[in-house]
Amino acid sequence: MRKVTLGTSGEKVSALCLGAMYFGTRNDAASSYALLDQYVAAGGSFIDTANIYAHWVPGFQGGESETVLGQWMRERGNRNDLFIASKVGFNYPGVGRGLSARQILTECDRSLQRLGIETIDLYYAHVDDFQTPLEETLEAFDRLVQTGKVRYIAASNFMAWRLEKARWTSRTNGWAEYCCIQQRYSYLRGKRGASFDPQLEASDELVQYCRAERVTLLAYSALLGGMYTRRDRDPGSQYHGPDSNARLAELNAVAAETGSTPNQVVLAWMLAQGVLPLIAGSTHEQLAENIGALKIALSDDQVARLNAAGA
């Protein structure tokens, strides 16, 4: 699998990151192992989890994704071949929401323990916290970097101005800076004023900021749960309307021209513009289709048409 530079870290990572959100919960250990093996066999090494995954699945508490990922790494003996990302900041049973120093330091230790590793390669602030002073949050993240518990730090679900303010705060204090941002981002775009609370969709401003500052945008929910090809999936009323209809028509046209699937065109469109998509799937076929997006080369004209489509 080809590699790309991860924002301002300078690190080379897989061009498609594997989302492990439902590993250990909706996907039992055996199917999680199979999907992880499949991704690694395709040359992938960038895996995304979080302390809270996936506490909202009935019967689970959170931490299951990190635990199953840790067990798999131990059994395969492959930790040193991987680039592991985790996150802190959202609430889950027994832990409140926020980015206080205490929360960051305690939750990092718990994640390291569940993963069974000494260092998290990329550690995200999972959601912004307006109550805790930025200095407190960023000094704590820097302490994790200085003590070797974390290599790089990143933001998720941040507004562009908050990301810039946080990066400026780190820079002026000589602390580690957020090197990239993970945001909700797909080919369809939410209607003006649409809310995905507590998630944040990447705004045009954020996309532009990332390009200008070489901060990689990582796209989560890139395939909107499979709705580009599945009649059983609705992306939500935030996406209903003429803009989406026009974009779906163009997407399907480009898919037909390139002999690929709409899902693959969405991912290839992101890759062509320097966006790093997270891919997820619960079956071998889904993951194979998504990884297959790397083989699709869109022409400049096709990218331009996809960009121009819509109201």
Residues engaged in binding ligand NAP (CB under 6 A):
19-21, 48, 126, 156-157, 182, 199, 220-226, 229-230, 263, 278, 280-282, 286, 289-290
Residue nearest ligand NAP, Cβ-based: 19
Residue type, 193: G
Minimum gap (Å) between residue 174 Cβ and ligand NAP: 28
Nearer to ligand NAP, 25 or 132 (CB): 25
Minimum gap (Å) between residue 284 Cβ and ligand NAP: 11
Minimum gap (Å) between residue 224 Cβ and ligand NAP: 5
Q: CA 115, 292, 274, 226: dihedral to nearest 10 degrees?
A: -80
Tokens of 64: 């299951």
Nearer to ligand NAP, 108 or 222 (CB): 222
Nearer to ligand NAP, 281 or 310 (CB): 281
Element (H, E) at 86: strand 83-88
Helix (H, G, I), strand (E, B) or coil at 178: strand
Nearer to ligand NAP, 22 or 209 (CB): 22
Nearer to ligand NAP, 78 or 286 (CB): 286
Minimum gap (Å) between residue 19 Cβ and ligand NAP: 2
